[in-house]
């Protein structure tokens, strides 16, 4: 289960992000070994999703798409910046189109957005009338998708010297 620690994305993460990733993997391992039969396993995804959001902000910074104030501040929103369908009136922090250029096409930025939306936004928020619960298998899949997307982003967008 610790194979993730030999990946490029793991090496790229800052220490607080690594702590979050470890927490998700530990929770997953604990639940797979015989945790209870729970209604929702979103709690397993939460730490990894937080680390994934940190990864995206770090990637945007290292690619020169956001500045240090945006990276370190509390106002920059990954969801708005990465949304490919953001209306023009909200595009002051929009990085999607520049990310398409840096990542040589829309495939990786689209994947980053899709995974962020499913593993972070839909997990964290409550939508009236849409009761979405996460099974243990879905939690494991989302964690794997975040990991593979981070690896793909580093391989496909790593044109700057600050990247792994």
pLDDT averaged over 10-residue windows placed end to end, the chain, 164 residues: 87 97 96 87 95 96 93 88 75 81 93 93 74 89 97 83 54
User: What residues does 127 pair with on adjacent strands?
Assistant: 130
Q: Indicate whether 113 belongs to any domain.
A: yes
Of 108, 142, 136, give the one whose Cα is nearest residue 123.
142
Asked if residue 86 is part of any domain, the answer here is: yes
Residue 161 is predicted with a pLDDT of 44
The residues facing 130 across adjacent strands are 127
Domain of residue 153 covers: 2-157
The whole-number pLDDT of residue 162 equals 53
pLDDT of residue 67: 92
Assess if residue 162 is contained within a domain.
Answer: no
Give the whole-angstrom CA distance, residue 59 versus residue 53. 10
Give the containing element (helix H, strand E) for 141.
helix 136-157
Query: According to the model, what pLDDT value does residue 163 have?
Result: 61
Structural domains in the chain (count): 1
**Residues 145/52, Cβ–Cβ less than 8 Å:** no
- φ, ψ of residue 130 to 5 degrees: the values are -125, 90
Q: What is the pLDDT of residue 5?
A: 92
In a domain, residue 137? The reply is yes
The answer as to whether 108 is a domain residue is: yes
Q: Is residue 68 part of a domain?
A: yes
- Is 164 part of a structural domain of the chain? no
Is residue 148 in some structural domain? yes
The pLDDT of residue 103: 93
């Amino acid at each position: 289960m610790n194979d993730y620690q030999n990946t490029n994305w793991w090496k790229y993460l800052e220490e607080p992000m690594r702590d979050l990733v470890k927490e998700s993997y530990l929770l997953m391992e604990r639940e797979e070994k015989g945790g209870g039969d729970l209604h929702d396993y979103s709690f397993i995804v939460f730490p990894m999703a937080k680390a994934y959001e940190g990864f995206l902000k770090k990637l945007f910074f290292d690619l020169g798409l956001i500045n240090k104030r945006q990276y370190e501040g509390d106002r920059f929103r990954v969801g708005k910046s990465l949304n490919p369908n953001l209306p023009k009136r909200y595009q002051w922090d929009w990085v999607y189109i520049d990310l398409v250029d840096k990542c040589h096409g829309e495939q990786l930025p689209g994947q980053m957005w899709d995974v962020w939306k499913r593993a972070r936004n839909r997990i964290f928020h409550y939508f009236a009338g849409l009761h979405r619960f996460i099974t243990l298998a879905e939690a494991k899949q989302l964690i794997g998708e975040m990991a593979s997307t981070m690896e793909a982003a580093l391989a496909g967008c790593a044109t700057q010297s600050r990247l792994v």
